[in-house]
Amino acid sequence: METSALLPGVGPDATILLVHAHPDDETIVTGATMAASAAAGARVVLLTCTRGELGEVIPPELAHLEVKAGNLADGAGLAAVREHELAAALAALGVHEHLWLGQGPTAPADGPVVFRDSGMQWGPDGRAMAADKVLPGSLSRAPLAETAELLAAAIRELRPSIVITYAADGGYGHPDHVGTHQLTVAALRLAASAGPAGVGPEGTAAVVTGWKVPAIYAIVSDRPERPLEAGVPRLAVAGDVAAKTAAMAAHRTQITVAGDRYALSDNVWKDISGVEEFVAVDPAGIYGQAQPDRRDAT
């Protein structure tokens, strides 16, 4: 496996759209790549699906924000904090464009909508699985046809040359990660066709043309319980580890950073790596031509 400074096609003329489930996901698995791409002059756009209302909280002084038994928090306070953390992280990465699913160019015709964190629990195999109770308004309860059309609208508008999101199992099984993969694949297919007619100058009808994304990448999980199948080629990007480290520190409710190491709420310490891995997804498998299934594709 060869390591490069950038993904193929990344440069001043590239527009890269990354689709992630919660704040901090973008930094942990793609932060170094995002920072290196932005520094190379690419237009880097992040779309985040939820605000991570049900995330665990590390700092003791902010423990009251965590939604758990015996706590009156409803997630709104944590969502607000994580919005600020995400903004600081993106500034550290040099990324200046961010969208929330359901708002801005991805808002439904009848007005903006917020998709909540679906929550999760750990399964007996050590991987994430759906929580026993998933609240209304959660991303995993939203109809795929609806969420995919919202993202498709952004793809038609941005016309990205590269889209990056999770593999089919979401990396470690979190229902929002799995759902984000599913809605991204569905949105790519929808975006290839013309969108609903909008309103142009002086009230004239405006047809939104379709857009086929030339390059699509799935993120390779860094979790050892999910090894890649033999023969699946990987692309390793040695990105900006200093920017990634600063961005991880900005997500202080979710990540503890000490020097060049970090820990999540499980308090398992790991080295911060500037090398992030991806698998190229064959666009023909997205846009309708039958292709052999691959673990890290669709």
The region of weakest confidence among 143-157, 191-205, 252-266 is 191-205
Q: In this predicted model, what pLDDT tens digit does every residue of 50-99 receive, in sequence order?
A: 999 998 999 999 999 998 866 767 889 999 999 999 999 999 999 999 99
Look at residue 6 in the predicted model and tell me its pLDDT.
Answer: 96
Query: Distance between CA 33 and CA 111 in Å, rounded?
Result: 33
Q: What share of the chain is helix, strand, coil (3-state, %, to 5)?
A: 30, 20, 45
DSSP 116: B
Residue 146's H or E segment, with its range, is helix 144-158
Q: Is the dihedral of CA 194, 188, 184, 81 positive or negative?
A: negative
Rounded to an integer, what distance in angstroms lies between the CA atom of residue 277 and that of residue 214? Answer: 19
Under 8 Å between Cβ of 263 and 256 = yes
* 3-286 CATH, one of 3.60.21.10, 3.40.50.10320, 3.40.50.970, 3.60.15.10: 3.40.50.10320
Domain ranges of the chain: 3-286
Prediction pTM value: 0.89
Higher pLDDT among residues 297 and 278, named by residue: 278
Contacts of 209 (CB under 8 A, 6+ apart): 156, 194, 195
